[in-house]
């Protein structure tokens, strides 16, 4: 194995172990020494790849965000017309966000660890940009009424994030299907306004 391959393997191991620990126990409950021990690397190896625990967490969050965004895009692309793509993508986001690992890393610890502004920038790059593009297309083709897309994007994104946080605390067996049905009605109301 070359040095470059070793470095990449070490980075992947740190990300995997950091993700496992952060997702199961939360950022605050995980120490740097534990991450290093579980990854079977030295502190120097960790600092070679990341400035510290928060930088490792940021990389884990970006990885989770990209995976969720990929699920959203895949669901949207599998749907028919632009309206169905929007609905499928939004539903896929809520479904992906119902995963406890995603909830802990992306929605609970993400804003708390990195701060709201940095978390929003990552969210914007991974999820909100796709939502904005879909809404722009629907405004342009007349499916939804002409309006500024930026506030609508933030409102829908906020509603879906809040629903995902609620699902993290809910215990009802029908909470996810009920949430998806409510989301569908919300989106239909936006369209009916046209």
pLDDT value of position 7: 92
pLDDT > 70: percent of the chain:
99
pLDDT value of position 127: 82
Whole-number Å distance between alpha carbons of 119 and 114: 6
* Domain 62-190 fold: Tetracycline Repressor; domain 2 (1.10.357)
Q: Is CATH 1.10.760 what the domain over 1-50 is classified as, yes or no?
A: no
pLDDT value of position 194: 56
Lowest mean pLDDT among 13-27, 74-88, 110-124, 135-149: 110-124
pLDDT value of position 176: 95
Q: How far is CA 136 from CA 77, 83, 130, 184, in A?
A: 16, 11, 10, 19
Segments making up each domain of the chain, as ranges: 1-50, 62-190
- Mean predicted confidence (pLDDT) in 2-14: 94
pLDDT value of position 169: 84
Tokens representing 1 are: 């194995």
Tokens representing 158 are: 């906020």
pTM score over 0.85: yes
97-142 pLDDT, tens digit each? 889 999 999 989 999 999 989 988 888 887 888 899 999 999 999 9
DSSP string, 133-192: HHHHHHHHTTSS-S--HHHHHHHHHHHHHHHHHHHHH---TTHHHHHHHHHHHHHHHHHH
pLDDT value of position 124: 82
């Amino acid at each position: 194995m070359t040095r470059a391959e070793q470095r990449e393997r070490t980075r992947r191991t740190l990300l995997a172990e950091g993700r496992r620990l952060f997702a199961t126990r939360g950022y605050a409950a995980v120490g740097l020494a534990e991450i290093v021990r579980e990854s079977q690397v030295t502190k120097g190896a960790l600092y070679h790849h990341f400035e510290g625990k928060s930088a490792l967490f940021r990389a884990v969050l970006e990885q989770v965000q990209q995976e969720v965004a990929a699920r959203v895009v895949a669901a949207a692309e599998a749907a028919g017309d632009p309206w169905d793509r929007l609905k499928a993508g939004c539903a896929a986001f809520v479904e992906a966000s119902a995963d406890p690992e995603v909830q802990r890393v992306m929605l609970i610890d993400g804003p708390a660890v990195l701060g709201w502004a940095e978390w929003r920038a990552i969210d914007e790059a991974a999820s909100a940009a796709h939502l904005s593009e879909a809404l722009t297309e629907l405004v342009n083709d007349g499916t939804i009424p002409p309006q500024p897309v930026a506030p609508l994007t933030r409102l829908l994104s906020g509603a879906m994030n809040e629903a995902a946080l609620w699902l993290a605390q809910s215990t009802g067996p029908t909470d996810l299907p009920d949430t998806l049905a409510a989301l569908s009605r919300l989106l239909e109301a936006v369209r009916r306004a046209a």
